[in-house]
Amino acid sequence: MVNANGTSEIRALYDSIVDNYSGRTHTSTDTVIEGNQASVELITVGIHRETGNQVTIPNVALLTFNESGKVSKAHVYLDMKNIENQIRVNN
């Protein structure tokens, strides 16, 4: 699980994804919205820059929005062992 609070932490979280994976696609498979919160189930696919391996990352983002409708808090759940196994698969 990765937690990010506020603009700078949320930006750093997504920058780390951008820095490590090229050609990313995100497909939303389910979304639930209630009040100022949303949960989004995603499949993220990208090419790991160091190994060239395609990595498929099932993940869930729990988002909280502020009064302006901007994301103020994000909790992202993913299986790091699954990701590590995919990165190593062809090395």
Q: Give residue-wise pLDDT tens across range 54-73.
A: 999 999 999 999 999 999 99
Region 16-25 average pLDDT: 84
Q: Are 28 and 63 in contact (CB under 8 A)?
A: no
pLDDT value at residue 89: 67
The pLDDT value recorded for residue 38 is: 98
Q: Closest Cα partner for 44 from 73, 64, 22, 62?
A: 22
Q: Return d(Cα 21, Cα 48) in angstroms, integer.
A: 5
Q: Residues 66, 72: contact at Cβ < 8 Å?
A: yes
How far apart (Å, rounded) are the C-alpha atoms in residues 72 and 63?
Answer: 8
Band of pLDDT at residue 2, cut at 50, 70 and 90: low
Beta bridge partners of 54: 47
Give the global pTM: 0.74
